[in-house]
A and B are shown apart, each in its own frame.
Chain A
């Protein structure tokens, strides 16, 4: 009913309004994500101390990477940690999800309890565990000694091997609930009829697991694994708080080494170069995640 011109201007106003609505968000993302991303690349080509002169150094930071033994050690350590921590999180997460799958009375309480540690910060949970693991006042040594399971108090965090194991224990406690919930969603998406007809055919637990459960929830499994791997590759809090990188610098993760270089030695250009490598690893992992999730459509 209105004239074409008026109609057009209403449309244009809608367009402008929409643009205005998203402007603050887009500005935030630009300033705090995109600009820093570009700056990371830029800084990685510079000698960039916190104070004082910055100098363009080309690829020098990247060349330094190949001579940095601790960097190699940290990459190696982070990789080893990821490989070791992922299976227990996944397997325990799967067991928990199977245990809480059916809606039997009070099951919600158990789901909640297993999930509770996820809402506690990793930093705070690490503070809790470092105290429980202490050789003098820690409860673990107290229990082990009371039951005569060890001859004397153990320095759990004092030896590289046990340090790795107890950190893994604490992280499993803290994060397994998240994996449980993802896998629970996967389990609940499988129709009961499939199991019923398999049972009629005489299939036992393992055949049902291999032929029905695992294939049908492979997207959830892949998602749980990838998210868990990403979390492990980015680990920092647990090592900074529980082991302080020790003993003998054996537990310095890659983020920890970036942190030390950038904010302790203030070699920010070098830290930026390492961040680029880290970013590459993570983009590959997230790419895998998106690929897995895409499959459905």
Chain B
């Protein structure tokens, strides 16, 4: 079935033409299906956004309107004074928890990953397996003692206490990822520095950090998105409304704790909450996918 001989045959040529047309039609069909599905997938987010920019009264209309009669940011303005303290405090709470979680996860995963990748010490394998084995323990099953412990040291109802718990949830994945990142760096790079008498810490800081930066970015993205979105632990560990993170605060709107459910404000809150994680994901998608593949498939 060599191509040149086929082309000489007019019959085969028209057959080839038909085949090409069919392939094009199939490709067009594929795009039609893809676009239809994409619209369905985007619909909830778009719908939420559309409603967040309706006038508050229109956002509560029964039955709802499809498009806003007037574009307004009033729902967002209402959020700033919503509940006891307004949304700014809750954005702050979520941001601080995320920041501590990101910083803690980066520092601990980098130090640990470097230690496990580059050094030999007694019990190394035991300790590494110990760290990784915690991947098998879902945090949902140890929340009760975690709560008791956090209460004991007076860290419940603090942003720091919640962040400590989140850092722990990130560690097994972070260590695994950072160890692999360090293992991928050729030994020769540090050897000359070691011979020059540089300390291990300065080698890590001056030489290695740059080389394992993609891994660090991945750890940071996961730490941010997971802590920003987490709901159950935040619900348990925070009892003072002033300390609620965004998802818990939004749930109080949905449950009508501040009076009638203000759906327009709720949708404005949903948009405020999803923008940071969507933005970070879209900006750093490659690193996110690296982590997904490294974490889920290769371990």
A-to-B contact residues, CB < 8 Å = 14-22, 24-26, 28-29, 32-37, 39-40, 43, 96, 99-100, 104, 109-110, 112-114, 116-117, 119-125, 127-132, 134, 136-139, 141-142, 145, 173, 178, 181-182, 185, 220, 223, 227, 230, 234, 236-237, 240-241, 255, 258-259, 262-263, 268, 271-272, 275-276, 278-279, 282-283, 286-287, 293
3 closest Cβ pairs, A-B complex: A18-B119, A121-B229, A21-B115
CB neighbours (8 Å) of B270 from chain A are 124, 127-128
Q: Choose from A25, A32, A145 the contact partner of B165 (Cβ within 8 Å).
A: A32
Q: B119 near A121 (CB under 8 angstroms)?
A: no
- The verdict on A220 contacting B297 (CB below 8 Å), with A21-B112, A122-B231, A234-B140 known, is yes
Q: Is B2 an interface residue (CB 8 A)?
A: no
Shortest Cβ gap from A290 to chain B (Å) = 8
Stretch at the interface among B8-16, B69-77, B122-130: B122-130
Q: Choose from A112, A116, A173, A263 the contact partner of B236 (Cβ within 8 Å).
A: A263
Q: Choose from A104, A121, A173 the contact partner of B277 (Cβ within 8 Å).
A: A121
Q: A223 near B297 (CB under 8 angstroms)?
A: yes
- The verdict on A241 contacting B44 (CB below 8 Å), with A116-B278, A271-B144, A272-B145 known, is no
Distance, CA A32 to CA B38, complexed state (A): 41
Distance, CA A236 to CA B233, complexed state (A): 11
Q: Is B207 an interface residue (CB 8 A)?
A: no
Q: Is B210 an interface residue (CB 8 A)?
A: no
CB neighbours (8 Å) of B115 from chain A are 18-22, 25
Interface residues of B in 241-279 (CB under 8 A from A): 246-248, 250-251, 254, 263, 266-267, 270, 273-274, 277-278
Shortest Cβ gap from B201 to chain A (Å) = 8
Q: B297 near A17 (CB under 8 angstroms)?
A: no
Q: B141 near A275 (CB under 8 angstroms)?
A: yes
Known: A275-B142, A282-B141. 7 other contacts (CB 8 A): A14-B119, A21-B119, A35-B149, A40-B141, A120-B229, A125-B44, A132-B47
CB neighbours (8 Å) of B229 from chain A are 120-124
Task: Select from chain B the residue with minimum beta-carbon distance to A233.
Answer: B138
Q: B168 near A137 (CB under 8 angstroms)?
A: no
Q: A131 near B267 (CB under 8 angstroms)?
A: yes
Q: A182 near B38 (CB under 8 angstroms)?
A: no
CB neighbours (8 Å) of B118 from chain A are 18
- The verdict on A279 contacting B137 (CB below 8 Å), with A185-B297, A236-B232 known, is yes
Distance, CA A46 to CA B236, complexed state (A): 21
Interface residue count on the B side (C-beta < 8 Å): 90
Q: B127 near A26 (CB under 8 angstroms)?
A: yes
Q: Is B116 an interface residue (CB 8 A)?
A: yes
Q: A112 near B144 (CB under 8 angstroms)?
A: no
B-to-A contact residues, CB < 8 Å = 27, 30, 33-34, 37-38, 41-42, 44-45, 47-48, 60-64, 66, 107-109, 111-112, 114-116, 118-122, 124, 127, 130-131, 134-138, 140-149, 164-165, 167-168, 171-172, 175, 200, 225, 228-232, 235-236, 246-248, 250-251, 254, 263, 266-267, 270, 273-274, 277-278, 281-282, 285, 288-289, 292-293, 296-297, 299
- The verdict on A286 contacting B47 (CB below 8 Å), with A18-B118, A26-B131, A262-B144 known, is no
Q: A29 near B34 (CB under 8 angstroms)?
A: no
Shortest Cβ gap from B46 to chain A (Å) = 11
CB neighbours (8 Å) of A22 from chain B are 111-112, 115-116, 121, 124, 127
Q: B145 near A35 (CB under 8 angstroms)?
A: yes
Distance, CA A104 to CA B29, complexed state (A): 13
CB neighbours (8 Å) of B119 from chain A are 14-15, 17-19, 21
Task: Select from chain A the residue with minimum beta-carbon distance to B278.
Answer: A119
Shortest Cβ gap from A94 to chain B (Å) = 13
Q: B136 near A26 (CB under 8 angstroms)?
A: no
Shortest Cβ gap from B142 to chain A (Å) = 4
A sample of 6 cross-chain residue pairs with beta-carbon separation below 8 angstroms, ordered by A number, consists of A25-B171, A29-B172, A127-B251, A141-B63, A241-B254, A255-B140
Q: A26 near B112 (CB under 8 angstroms)?
A: yes
Distance, CA A240 to CA B236, complexed state (A): 13
- The verdict on A25 contacting B164 (CB below 8 Å), with A40-B145, A124-B274 known, is no
- The verdict on A99 contacting B37 (CB below 8 Å), with A24-B108, A137-B62 known, is yes
Shortest Cβ gap from A222 to chain B (Å) = 11
Shortest Cβ gap from A218 to chain B (Å) = 13
CB neighbours (8 Å) of A14 from chain B are 119-121, 200
Task: Select from chain A the residue with minimum beta-carbon distance to B292.
Answer: A181
CB neighbours (8 Å) of B137 from chain A are 33, 37, 279, 282
Q: A100 near B44 (CB under 8 angstroms)?
A: no
Task: Select from chain B the residue with minimum beta-carbon distance to A29.
Answer: B131
Q: B121 near A18 (CB under 8 angstroms)?
A: yes
Q: Choose from B121, B148, B247 the contact partner of A39 (Cβ within 8 Å).
A: B148
Shortest Cβ gap from A32 to chain B (Å) = 4
CB neighbours (8 Å) of A223 from chain B are 296-297
Q: A19 near B121 (CB under 8 angstroms)?
A: yes
CB neighbours (8 Å) of A17 from chain B are 119, 200
Shortest Cβ gap from B27 to chain A (Å) = 7
Distance, CA A37 to CA B144, complexed state (A): 10
